[in-house]
Amino acid sequence: MAVETWNGVSLELWAKTLLIRETEERFLRLFSEGKLFGTVHTCIGQEYTAVAVAEALQPGDLIFSNHRCHGHYLARTGDVEGLTAEIMGRATGLCGGRGGSQHLCAAGFFSNGVQGGIVPVAAGLALAEELAGTSNLAAVFIGDGTLGEGVVYETLNIASKWALPLLVVLENNGYAQSTSQRETLAGELDARAEAFGIRAGRCELWDIPQLLARAEAAAAYVRRERKPFFLRVDTYRLMAHSKGDDDRDPAEVAAYRAKDPLGRFAAEHPEDAARLQREASALVDRAVAKAEAAPYAEAGPHDADPPAWRAVRWQPTTFQAHDRVVGRLHDALRNHLLQNEKLVLLGEDIAGPYGGAFKVTRQLSLEFPGRVRNTPISEAALVGLGNGLALNGWLPVCEIMFGDFLTLAFDQFLNHAAKFRYMYNEQVKVPLVIRTPMGGRRGYGATHSQSLEKHWLGVPHTRVLALHHRFDPYELVDRLLSNADRPTLLIENKLLYGLKTDAPPPRGFVVEHSDETFPTTRLRPLTEPDLVIFCYGGLLPEAEQAADRLFEEHDLAAEIVCPACLYPFNAAPLEESLRRTGKLLIVEEGQGFAALGAEVLAQLAERGAAPARVRRLAAPAHPIPSSGPLEKALLPGAAQLVETAAGMCADA
Amino acid sequence: MPEPAIVRVPHETVNDETVTLQRRAVAEGRAVKAGEVLAVLETSKASIEVEAPRDGYVFWCAEEGADIPVGGALCGIADTERRPEFAAEALKPAHAQADSDAPRAGGPARFSAEARRLIAEHGLDERRFDGQGLVRGADVLKACRPAQADHAPAAACEPPPAFAKPGAPARRERLPRAKRAENRMLRAAAARTVPSTVSVQVPTRGLRASIHEQSERYGSFTAVAIHELARLLREVPVLNAYQHDDAIHFYESVNVAVAMDAGKGLKAPVIRDADRKSLREIAAELQAFLMTYLRGELAAADLEGATFTLSDLSGEGVQQFVPVLNEAQAATLGIGAELPHGAGRALTLTLTFDHLLTEGRTAAGFLRALGKALAKYDRDPGAEPPRRAPRPSPPPTPAIPSSGTSCAPGPACSRPGPSSRTPISSTSAATRSWPLSSSTTSRSWPRRPSTRWRSSTPPRPGSSRRCCARITRARPPRCSNGSGPATPGPEPGRRPTSRPWTRPCSPRCAR
Ligand SMILES: Cc1ncc(C[n+]2csc(CCOP(=O)(O)OP(=O)(O)O)c2C)c(N)n1
């Protein structure tokens, strides 16, 4: 006899749960038949958490899910066909076959298979809603194993401090892959959230009415109080972590299987269960059939960054404001804050009156309260917040106090920001801007003086810029914020901040800029050049000094080529300069191994434009010392440039 | 506290890269008023004074005797009596800043040290490289080469022979700044003239003594000589000219430089428009120059603009000497001592002239005419000094330089020193009957320095006696082109980003 409810829960919810179960079991079969690409992490046994949370959410709410996301997605959308096609690699998949099992995106739903990193992104989604003044919240699903990730705590701290409408759902299934929680987690799980002043609630999967109620209450609390909530759901995964890799005690698994709510429902209502299962199975059959009939995903025109090689036209330099680099940066940010109410600045110590370690943001926080925010010392979380803001239609500009600590946010740049647009099949753009000072010569020592940009170069769908004083930083930032279509790292060499933007070039040289959006700058000697110096960012002033001295002391005319855009890199302007002289001197402040200089040479060589004589100057393989004279001797500067260039030209 | 106003070495003397701080006129920490003299600088030509640009307290950045680059900081003028911290950047020479645009568009070129060395070695004029931007050693040598190939006389372009090892040990002492600068000019002149010399012995009875006895009336012998030769030059304009580009360029005024050397270095202050001044005026001006010379206070402006040079060694017991041609001058006159000769006395007049412009006959005619003019002042009881100089008889043939003797395209002529003060007429050539035929057309100086961007133009040398450091820093022109990065102000109505909709639009699961 058919029932309306079981255990006080409507059959509709049982149907949803069963659909998730049926879909994932089919995925496992398809996997063993070799019809899936990659792996699948099923939530078999855990489905009701997804259903309960989906029940508690409202249409405008947002979800960020993890590697085990099928259930979360199906509970929210019911889109079996899109999911099946996605996992089977078809063009009809919900992300066009680009994302696959762990990277879903549709209807305010996102997932990414990077443990921990999704949490600040979800917080960023919540921050965007909060800034926009909606009643929406963001929910994020994590497993207990992910409690090992530091960025989770960075985010809990910020979410609490900033009162973000963030619902953290901990699916506590006791294991991370094969590793038991007992082996890796210390202390109480809920206490982690409570330590940050975040309200925590606990429930278990095996008490469905309680689970539904607690999820409902949690979401209501977040929505009402505009505060985060930490919902711990004790649960158990009945199948292997992904494929057949289950090393857990079979007796333990069997005990939980006996408690499986869906199993109990089927045992008590075999006919209803059989009917619901038939219906679910039919949906899945149809989804698989449709997917199999659909074409495989194909490469699209925008998949790869287009080759950057493009001949340029040159414009002579124009008047620049009578200010210093730091002032121009400040003015550009301020102007965009005025113009664009979706611009948000995040960073450590950026609020006024301190205004940032290098004083770029000065008093902006006082003028734009709420949109210029001090963060805790949490590089990963603050860039993650930026990612969430960007996904949610805002324009975040994140300041990392020292470029050295960009490494702590590398995951956010590489595995989140750089990936979203592609793996979500162009459904999103990520206008994330990260600004950071780099470089030495200030005696800050090994961990505060590096030029690490080479580690950030070559990440598809991102951009790396290095500003300098010859192309108005205001203009650069203005163009960047006006064309913020991809994650962009803006490198600001520390020594440049104080430089005047209107200082004339050395006598006898003219400054020209290419017609690229982020131009190449050329310091052209008013005579035939003897060699070309290639540099960027903070080494431009050194190269200028060198060019000045090379002329005066060594009777040599050096042309300087200095790109603002290090990636995607256009070598054509450099190639143009090299046509007039076969000598190229490359200088980089960071490590030269596998850095931009090496890439530039490789590209020139491939084009048959390899210069006849080449030298590269870079920091030796050596951490940066603090002592002034030691540091000066180590980092390449004007003196080494002069010496090397003179040598190159002497014995040529 | 406002930043102190930095007083810099003015860009007065174009030839100098550095000047010497001869004297601080104000002690450290003392108050000055705007316009008061702050410092005396020694340039290669003369001493210049630097005035305070504003009121305040003076704090020095340079020691007396120090060499300071042009544009370099001399001192700061602060509002308070406490010595301010000078920002290192502020003390850097403002040189490059003011002149960064100059090498373009016909402005003066920038030379490498090697180029400067070669230019000096070859006696070239830096101005021939105007508009060439950066000039390296190779460019200087290249500029010499065609001359070498085509014209034997342009030997000055050949790299000088290697310095022979001297046979005996010697002590090296660098030539003084002024001498080095003078040498540059002399080499430049030597590089593109073919000097020739003519001497004429003028019999006298006691000319110098006669003038001396009537000094109330005549001033000095030198004054008389200037007075007479200047008016004669008006009649023989080819000797008041210079040669360039196969053309004679006639100076429109007669400015006579008078060499002085009384132990304070050789200087040649210029008596301007000497042909239009009375003997009395000339005598007074000469006397004033001598006093200024002795005080060591001749200004750059006093020394510029000469079109002809006189070296009067008649008081030095020198019988005869060959004066050396100066840059952009056709001739220079030397006067030897009035020595016993036969029954009476004699004075030797020697004219060194540029054979590219004229020849010995003209020169000799000029000297004889001058001798006659001077004879009017000689001891001849009852003889009055003439009211007007006699007109010399014109030589029969016009003195047109033949192209065969021209040095073009050898080393470029330097621009005449007094270009700003002494306009050069090319059209007037045709109206003169002697000694030039109207068929000789002359082009005006081809390369004028283009106007530079300056927020305020410093006084030019020659236009003012005093040099003032009130030169505001030149900036690149403000670009009005709105498309470039020139106008970075907020643009109303422009939104920085048209942001894509980041939310997917597929329908949500119905609840
Ligand atoms: C940053 C990161 N490290 C490692 C992995 C590999 N990995 C994928 S799932 C997983 C276990 C996750 O455990 P847990 O958070 O408890 O979630 P569960 O699988 O139990 O749902 C690991 C280590 C990853 N995806 N991301």
DSSP A575-641: HHHHTT-SEEEEEEEEE-TTSHHHHHHHHHHHTT---SEEEEEEE-SSPPPSSHHHHHHHS--HHHH
Q: Which two tokens stand for residue A67?
A: 């590697």
All residues at 6 or more sequence positions from A13 whose CB lies less than 8 Å from its CB, including other chains: A51, A55, A212
What single letter denotes the amino acid at residue A593? F
User: Is the pLDDT score of B476 beyond 90?
Assistant: no
DSSP codes joined into one string, B172-212:
--PPPHHHHHHHHHHHHHHHT--EEEEEEEEEESSHHHHHH
User: Is the pLDDT score of B413 beyond 50?
Assistant: no
CB atoms within 10 A of CB A650: 9
Let me know whether A481 and A568 are in one domain: no
Averaged pLDDT, A538-564:
97
The Cα–Cα gap between B79 and B4 comes to 7
Phi, psi of B376 (to 5 degrees): -65, -20
Residue of B nearest to A389 (CA): B502
The Cα–Cα gap between A637 and B193 comes to 48
Are A508 and B110 within 8 A, CB to CB?
Answer: yes
Let me know whether B496 and B382 are in one domain: no
The CATH number of whichever domain residue B31 belongs to comes to: 2.40.50.100
Averaged pLDDT, A550-569:
97
Give how far A303 is from chain B: nearest CA, Å.
18
Q: Which two tokens stand for residue A77?
A: 């959308």
Which of A498-512, A557-571, B176-190, B432-446 reaches the highest mean pLDDT?
A557-571
The residue to which tokens 């907020």 are assigned: B490
A169 lines ligand 1 (CB under 6 A): no
Q: Phi/psi class of residue A232: alpha, beta or left (left: φ > 0; alpha: ψ in -120 to 50)?
A: beta
Q: Which two tokens stand for residue A411?
A: 């995951």
The CATH number of whichever domain residue B281 belongs to comes to: 3.30.559.10
A492 lines ligand 1 (CB under 6 A): no
Within a domain: residue B217? Answer: yes
Angle at A459 between CA A454 and CA A464, to 5 degrees: 60
Let me know whether A346 and A388 are in one domain: yes
pLDDT value for B420? 39
- How confident is the model over A112-162, as pLDDT tens digits? 999 999 999 999 999 999 999 999 999 999 999 999 999 999 999 999 999
Strand, coil or helix: what is A465? strand
A146 lines ligand 1 (CB under 6 A): yes
Residue of B nearest to A77 (CA): B509
pLDDT value for B510? 35
Q: Which of residues 310-349 of B touch A (CB under 8 A)?
A: none
Let me know whether B121 and B238 are in one domain: no
pLDDT value for A174? 97
User: Is the pLDDT score of B418 beyond 80?
Assistant: no
Q: Which domain holds residue B146?
A: 103-157+485-511
Contacts of B135 in chain A (CB under 8 A): 527
Overall number of domains in chain B:
3
Let me know whether A457 and A528 are in one domain: no
| Alpha-carbon torsion, ordered A104, A105, A111, A117, to 10 deg | 130
Q: End-to-end distance of chain B based on CA atoms, in angstroms? A: 69
User: Is the pLDDT score of B227 beyond 50?
Assistant: yes
What angle in degrees, to the nearest 10, is found between the helix axes of A11-32 and A80-87? 20
What single letter denotes the amino acid at residue A543? A
User: Is the pLDDT score of B409 beyond 60?
Assistant: no
Which strand (E) or helix (H) includes residue A649? Answer: helix A638-650
Average pLDDT, chain B: 71
- How confident is the model over A411-426, as pLDDT tens digits? 999 999 999 999 999 9
Which residue of A68, A146, A246 sits with most ligand 1 atoms within 8 Å of its CB, as the best mutation to test the pocket?
A146
Nearest CA to ligand 1 atom 11: A176
User: Is the pLDDT score of B434 beyond 60?
Assistant: no
The Cα–Cα gap between B509 and A12 comes to 13
* Domain end call among A235, A255, A271: A235
Angle at B429 between CA B424 and CA B435, to 5 degrees: 120
> According to DSSP H, which parts of B32-136 are helical?
88-91, 95-99, 113-122
Are B103 and A507 within 8 A, CB to CB?
Answer: yes
Q: Which two tokens stand for residue A356?
A: 């940032």
- How confident is the model over B308-363, as pLDDT tens digits? 999 998 888 788 888 998 888 999 999 988 888 877 888 889 999 998 888 888 99
Are B485 and A526 within 8 A, CB to CB?
Answer: no
* Residue A341 C-beta-side C-alpha neighbours within 13 Å: 2
The more confident residue out of A198 and B510 is A198
Closest C-alpha to A501, from A312, A315, A331 = A331
Let me know whether A464 and A593 are in one domain: no
Residue B43 banded pLDDT, cuts 50, 70, 90: confident
Angle at A501 between CA A498 and CA A506, to 5 degrees: 105
Let me know whether B278 and B255 are in one domain: yes
Residues A551 and A567 sit within 8 Å (Cβ to Cβ): no
The CATH number of whichever domain residue A473 belongs to comes to: 3.40.50.970
Nearest CA to ligand 1 atom 19: A176
All residues at 6 or more sequence positions from B326 whose CB lies less than 8 Å from its CB, including other chains: B185, B186, B189, B257, B306, B309, B332
Let me know whether B24 and B123 are in one domain: no
Are B504 and A108 within 8 A, CB to CB?
Answer: yes
Let me know whether B316 and B432 are in one domain: yes
Within a domain: residue B368? Answer: yes
Lowest mean pLDDT among A183-197, A310-324, B5-19, B312-326: B5-19
The Cα–Cα gap between A483 and A465 comes to 13
The more confident residue out of A448 and B15 is A448
Question: Cα dist. A258→A42, A166, A232, A253, B263 in Å?
Answer: 18, 34, 22, 9, 120
User: Is the pLDDT score of B89 beyond 90?
Assistant: no
Q: Which domain holds residue A126?
A: 46-53+116-174+188-235
Question: Cα dist. B339→A321, A647, B226, B428 in Å?
Answer: 72, 65, 21, 41
Within a domain: residue A270? Answer: no
Let me know whether A338 and A428 are in one domain: yes
Lowest mean pLDDT among A198-202, B51-55, B97-101: B97-101
Closest C-alpha to B471, from B32, B50, B48, B19 = B50
Lowest mean pLDDT among A6-20, A238-252, A309-323: A309-323
The Cα–Cα gap between A593 and A586 comes to 13
Which residue of A115, A152, A414, A419 sits with most ligand 1 atoms within 8 Å of its CB, as the best mutation to test the pocket?
A115
Within a domain: residue B108? Answer: yes
A114 lines ligand 1 (CB under 6 A): yes
CB atoms within 10 A of CB A516: 18
- How confident is the model over B68-84, as pLDDT tens digits? 877 788 888 988 888 88
- How confident is the model over A619-644, as pLDDT tens digits? 999 999 999 999 999 999 999 999 99
Let me know whether B83 and B120 are in one domain: no
Residues A618 and A591 sit within 8 Å (Cβ to Cβ): yes
Let me know whether B238 and B327 are in one domain: yes
Average pLDDT, chain A: 95
Phi, psi of B439 (to 5 degrees): -75, -15
pLDDT value for A64? 98
pLDDT value for B31? 92
Strand, coil or helix: what is B97? helix
pLDDT value for B464? 33
Question: Cβ of B70 under 8 Å from any chain A Cβ?
Answer: no
Are B503 and A527 within 8 A, CB to CB?
Answer: no
Going from the Cα of A352 to the center of ligand 1, the distance in angstroms, rounded, reads: 40
User: Is the pLDDT score of B24 beyond 50?
Assistant: yes
The more confident residue out of A547 and B402 is A547
User: Is the pLDDT score of A4 beyond 60?
Assistant: yes
A111 lines ligand 1 (CB under 6 A): no
User: Is the pLDDT score of B247 beyond 70?
Assistant: yes
Nearest CA to ligand 1 atom 3: A115
Let me know whether A413 and A334 are in one domain: yes
Residue of B nearest to A485 (CA): B499
Within a domain: residue B177? Answer: no
- How confident is the model over A199-243, as pLDDT tens digits? 999 999 999 999 999 999 999 999 999 999 999 999 999 999 987
Let me know whether B437 and B405 are in one domain: yes
Let me know whether B282 and B431 are in one domain: yes
What single letter denotes the amino acid at residue A373? R
User: Is the pLDDT score of A37 beyond 90?
Assistant: no
What angle in degrees, to the nearest 10, is found between the helix axes of A261-268 and A270-293? 120
Let me know whether A557 and A634 are in one domain: yes
Residue B165 banded pLDDT, cuts 50, 70, 90: low
Lowest mean pLDDT among B138-152, B256-270, B283-297: B138-152
The more confident residue out of A616 and B380 is A616
Within a domain: residue B173? Answer: no
Within a domain: residue A272? Answer: no
Let me know whether A322 and A416 are in one domain: yes
Lowest mean pLDDT among A345-359, A386-400, B67-81, B355-369: B67-81
Let me know whether A485 and A545 are in one domain: no
Within a domain: residue B166? Answer: no
Within a domain: residue A440? Answer: yes
Overall number of domains in chain A:
3
Percent above pLDDT 90 for chain B: 24
User: Is the pLDDT score of B173 beyond 90?
Assistant: no
Question: How many A-B residue pairs are in contact by the CB < 8 A criterion?
Answer: 162
The more confident residue out of B380 and B258 is B258
Within a domain: residue B176? Answer: no
Q: Which of residues 457-486 of B touch A (CB under 8 A)?
A: 475-479, 481, 484-486
Let me know whether A337 and A226 are in one domain: no
Let me know whether A531 and A476 are in one domain: no
Residue B16 banded pLDDT, cuts 50, 70, 90: low
* Domain end call among B82, B99, B116: B99
> According to DSSP H, which parts of A526-579 are helical?
539-554, 572-578
CB-nearest partner of B502 from A317, A428, A475: A428
Best probe of the A interface among B491, B495, B503, by most A CBs < 10 A, is B503
Strand, coil or helix: what is A7? coil
Question: Cβ of B113 under 8 Å from any chain A Cβ?
Answer: yes
Percent above pLDDT 70 for chain A: 98
Let me know whether B77 and B225 are in one domain: no
Averaged pLDDT, A353-382:
96
Residues B133 and A508 sit within 8 Å (Cβ to Cβ): yes
Let me know whether A482 and A382 are in one domain: yes
Q: What is the pairing mode between strands B31-32 and B56-60?
A: antiparallel
Lowest mean pLDDT among A158-162, A324-328, B458-462: B458-462
Residue A2 banded pLDDT, cuts 50, 70, 90: low
Best probe of the A interface among B97, B126, B497, by most A CBs < 10 A, is B497
pLDDT value for B17? 66
The Cα–Cα gap between B171 and B160 comes to 22
Q: End-to-end distance of chain A based on CA atoms, in angstroms? A: 96
Residues A629 and A537 sit within 8 Å (Cβ to Cβ): no
Lowest mean pLDDT among A373-377, A390-394, B135-139, B320-324: B320-324
Within a domain: residue A108? Answer: no
- How confident is the model over A480-515, as pLDDT tens digits? 999 899 999 999 999 999 998 888 899 999 999 999
The CATH number of whichever domain residue A617 belongs to comes to: 3.40.50.920
What single letter denotes the amino acid at residue A541? P
Within a domain: residue B178? Answer: no
CB-nearest partner of A106 from B134, B497, B506: B506
Contacts of B504 in chain A (CB under 8 A): 105-108, 424, 427-428
Using a CB cutoff of 8 Å and minimum separation of 24, what contacts does B333-338 make? B333/B225, B333/B229, B333/B308, B333/B309, B333/B370, B334/B310, B335/B225, B335/B310, B335/B311, B337/B313, B338/B204, B338/B206, B338/B207, B338/B208, B338/B314
pLDDT value for A163? 98
Let me know whether B446 and B507 are in one domain: no
The Cα–Cα gap between A535 and B220 comes to 69
Let me know whether B147 and B270 are in one domain: no
- How confident is the model over A65-109, as pLDDT tens digits? 999 999 999 999 999 999 999 999 999 999 999 999 999 999 899
The Cα–Cα gap between A512 and A520 comes to 8
* Domain end call among A479, A496, A513: A496
The more confident residue out of A231 and B48 is A231
